[in-house]
Amino acid sequence: MHFIALCWAFFVEGWNDGSTGPLLPTIQNYYHVGFAVVSTIFILNAIGFIVGAFTLVPLMNKFGYGKNPAIDTHLTGAIVQTLAYALQAPPAPFPLLVISFGLAGYGLSLENALGNTYVGSIKSGTLVLLGLLHAAYGLGAFCAPLSATHFATQTHWSYHYFISLSLAVMNVVFLAAVFRFRDQDSILTEAGHADASDLANEGSGHYRALLGIRAVHFLTAFVTIYIGVEVTLGGWIVTYIVRQRQGGPSSGYISSGFFGGLTFGRVGLLWLSKRIGEARALTMYAILCIALEVTIWVVPSLIENALAVSIIGVFMGPMFPILVNHSSKILPRWLLSGALGLITGFGQTGSALLPFITGLLASRFGISSLPPLVVSMTSAMTFLWLLVPKSQRRSD
């Protein structure tokens, strides 16, 4: 039940990220703002993620999963996320809408990092569980554009966020009912996934030790770019298709194609990743993504671009679960929770920073700047992965 509750939390996170792309042109028209101004929603989202990333380790070390019933870190993130949707649904004035994206970023930062930490601490079947966990994210991101694309053409476009609000309320209820304000160590031990002795020292993780590990630097940089590319493609690709490929009102469904591919890749490519080796598989997937991104850049075909976006989703899908699983193998166990929290929490800032940069470039050079930016970022991401140690003796 704990894993199912976390899958629902990741479904809601995916729903959040999949909602923005189809609604972005409508938000621009409704508030009469340009690319640069509308991109401030990404900047506030980034600030929320950054605050979440830097407060996560002290919060997790002190409270973790329910070490104090008054402040459960994961549940706090879910409540903040719910508040954000309550502000978005009316719809709010644009400044308040921007603030709500910051609140959503903070809440999602806590939930994402702690969900990955919990599953990454499970001793057996970690890659499969991570694949399923992040497939739940992909499923949420796949479903959201189906709703958002419909509401984008309606007068009351913001009513889409009432669905988001309902899903977030269910998330709060599930987390409270399933975890019951207990700490992670006792939950894992009770489920037979870990021994308390193995996890006893995790709370002593701190920034100085984390930042002294070079692999953490490369992993964090990789995740920042990876998530940034993922959200940028899922978000801005709709605007790109509408303006550069003369797509119609149904262009929002292309975002669903991307996240649908992401969902399939996180489950369907598990066997291939294991067969050829996780590290080698990720490199191969990244190179294929770059090749497909180039076709979106140079082939002026709506159909080809839509297919390429979906296939990119398939190859990007397994990357994040592979990275989290690889981190659990090469990093010391006593620092694992803090490391995964820092890597995934701070790495989530990419989901805001890269889309914001895309908006700035689009305001200066047009939305045609999207493909070259994505190609360059994916290339940088691939280079960073080559720098990550592929084997390292852990100090438990």
Give the pLDDT of residue 198.
Answer: 43
The region, left, alpha or beta by phi > 0 then psi within -120 to 50, assigned to residue 72 is: beta
175 touches 45 (CB < 8 A): no
Residue 173: count of CB within 10 angstroms of its CB: 13
Higher pLDDT: 289 or 328? It is 289
Query: What residue spans define the domains of the chain?
Result: 2-387
Mapping DSSP to helix (H, G, I), strand (E, B) and coil, where does residue 63 land?
Answer: coil
Which is higher by pLDDT, 82 or 73?
A: 82
The runs of H, that is alpha helices, within the chain are 2-31, 35-38, 40-62, 73-88, 94-120, 126-152, 160-179, 184-190, 196-199, 207-211, 214-244, 252-268, 270-276, 278-298, 302-316, 319-330, 336-347, 350-365, 370-387
Residue 384 has a pLDDT of: 94
- Structure confidence by residue, pLDDT tens digits, 32-77: 998 888 888 888 887 888 788 777 767 666 665 555 444 466 788 8
Cα separation, 158 vs 140, in Å, equals: 18
User: At residue 372, does pLDDT exceed 90?
Assistant: yes
Statement: residue 204 has pLDDT above 60: no
Q: Would you place residue 249 in the very low, low, confident or very high pLDDT band (cuts 50, 70, 90)?
A: confident
pLDDT at residue 78 above 70?
yes
If DSSP codes are grouped into helix, strand and coil, which group holds residue 113? Answer: helix
What pLDDT, on a 0 to 100 scale, did the predictor assign at position 83?
95
d(CA 305, CA 297): 9
Residue 340: name the closest of 130, 154, 160, 180 by CA: 130
Residue 157 neighbours by CB under 8 Å, 6+ apart: 23, 26, 30, 91, 151
The answer regarding whether domain 2-387 maps to CATH 1.10.1740.10 reads: no
pLDDT of residue 222: 93
pLDDT digits (tens, 9 = 90+) for 116-125: 777 766 766 6
Helix, strand, or coil (residue 300): coil
Tokens of 354: 């890269």
pLDDT at 253 over 80: yes
Distance, in Å, from the CA atom of 392 to the CA atom of 218, rounded to the nearest integer, reads 14
